């Protein structure tokens, strides 16, 4: 491993350049972090590793579950006395982990397989990140009996509430014209999102094959699995 290679790659990411100033290791970010309370997670340590430029430790991070624990709420940004942004550093680490294909090695990292497939297809197919016809009660029982009812009567509920579900013209959950969705696809193609989607999918399918699973079996495992080892207690 060439010294500084990973650090140099990270520094190409604007989020790292914005997010890493001079960490004084005070641990305020960890104290306020919602993820650090739930997971065995310490953003202070992550910022310190990146700041140290220790290639071996950075590579371990990129291959680990650790960088996937953050919820990107950015509460750390407000509190840091030195204006670091642990959340942005995490985003840069995740980006590099995906670029290098390391994400597929950890349980939490390989969740990108489903996240990328679902969220990007929502954006490209409908023009929205979240689309109610794809938000099913069976997959989201916490959405409550009220959502179970709404799901059965989605068109009527939207009509009652002044929405425009899949309708023409403006309004809530309108059908976004094809020409606009074509522009989103062109943006995806030009800016690396399409390539990212293909890369993540290929890595996921390769991993599924290694595990002797079909895509569906692999998807189910990724969606449901959470090893208790991640938890803070």
Partner 1 sequence: MIYEGKQKIWADYQKEIPDDHYFYVRSCIRQSFFPASEATFLDITRNRLGKDIFETEHHTTCGGIAYHSDTIPQETVMTIIARQFALMAKNGYENYVCSCITSFGLYCETMETWREFPELEAKIRENLWKTCKLDFAKPKFLIHASDLVYKYRNLIAKQAVHKLVNVHTGQPLRVVEHIGCHYSKMFPSKGVGGAEYPYVLVGMIEAWGGEIVDYPERRHCCGFGFRQYFIKGNRGYSISNTHKKFESMEPFHPDFIITNCPGCPYFMDRWQYVIAESTGKTYGKDGHGIPVLTYEEVAGLVMGYDPWDLGLQTHQVGVEPLLDKMGIEYDPEKKYLGKGGKDIGQPEPCICMK
Please report whether residue 52 would count as binding partner 1 according to CB under 8 A: no
Q: Is 174 helix (H, G, I), strand (E, B) or coil?
A: coil
Please report whether residue 28 would count as binding partner 1 according to CB under 8 A: no
- Using only C-alpha atoms, what is the Rg of the chain? 20
Q: Which two tokens stand for residue 40?
A: 């065995």
Please report whether residue 217 would count as binding partner 1 according to CB under 8 A: no
Please report whether residue 161 would count as binding partner 1 according to CB under 8 A: yes
Name the one range near partner 1 by CB under 8 A: 3-11, 22-30, 56-64, 196-204. 196-204
- Selected from 5, 8, 12, 14, the binder of partner 1 by CB under 8 A is 14
- Selected from 54, 59, 105, 148, the binder of partner 1 by CB under 8 A is 148
* Closest approach of partner 1 to the CB of residue 211, in Å: 16
* Closest approach of partner 1 to the CB of residue 3, in Å: 26
CA atoms within 13 A on the CB side of 231: 4
d(CA 72, CA 88): 8
Residue 231's beta-bridge partner residues?
Answer: 39
d(CA 82, CA 111): 32
Compare residues 54 and 188 and give the one whose CB is closer to partner 1.
Answer: 188
**Residues of span 32-51 touching partner 1 by CB under 8 A:** 34-35, 37-39
Compare residues 54 and 101 and give the one whose CB is closer to partner 1.
Answer: 101
Please report whether residue 101 would count as binding partner 1 according to CB under 8 A: no
Q: Are 84 and 20 in contact (CB under 8 A)?
A: yes
- Selected from 43, 95, 104, 208, the binder of partner 1 by CB under 8 A is 95
Please report whether residue 9 would count as binding partner 1 according to CB under 8 A: no
d(CA 226, CA 233): 14
Rounded to 5°, angle at Cα 76 from 72 and 78: 115
Among residues 83, 66, 76, the alpha carbon closest in space to that of 20 is found at: 83
Q: Are 173 and 163 in contact (CB under 8 A)?
A: yes
Site string for partner 1, 128-147 (x = CB under 8 A): xxxxx--x---x--xxxxxx
Name the one range near partner 1 by CB under 8 A: 1-9, 57-65, 94-102, 202-210. 94-102
């Amino acid at each position: 491993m060439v010294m500084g290679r990973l650090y140099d790659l990270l520094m190409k990411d604007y989020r790292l350049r914005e997010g890493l100033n001079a960490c004084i290791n005070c641990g305020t970010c960890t104290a306020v972090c919602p993820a650090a309370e739930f997971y065995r997670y310490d953003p202070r340590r992550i910022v310190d590793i990146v700041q140290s430029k220790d290639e071996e430790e950075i590579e371990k991070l990129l291959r680990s579950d650790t960088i996937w624990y953050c919820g990107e709420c950015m509460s750390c940004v407000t509190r840091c006395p030195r204006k670091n942004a642990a959340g942005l550093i995490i985003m840069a680490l995740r980006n590099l982990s995906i670029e290098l294909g390391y994400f597929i090695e950890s349980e939490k990292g390989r969740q990108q397989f489903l996240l990328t497939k679902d969220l990007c297809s929502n954006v490209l197919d409908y023009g929205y990140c979240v689309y109610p016809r794809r938000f099913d009660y069976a997959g989201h029982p916490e959405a409550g009996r009220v959502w179970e009812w709404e799901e059965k009567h989605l068109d009527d509920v939207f009509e009652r509430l002044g929405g425009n579900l899949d309708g023409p013209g403006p309004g809530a959950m309108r059908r976004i014209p094809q020409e606009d969705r074509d522009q989103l696809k062109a943006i995806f193609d030009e800016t690396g999102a399409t390539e990212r989607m293909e890369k993540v999918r290929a890595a996921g399918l390769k991993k599924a094959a290694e595990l002797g699973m079909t895509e569906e079996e692999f998807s189910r495992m990724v969606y449901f699995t959470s090893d208790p080892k991640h938890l803070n207690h």
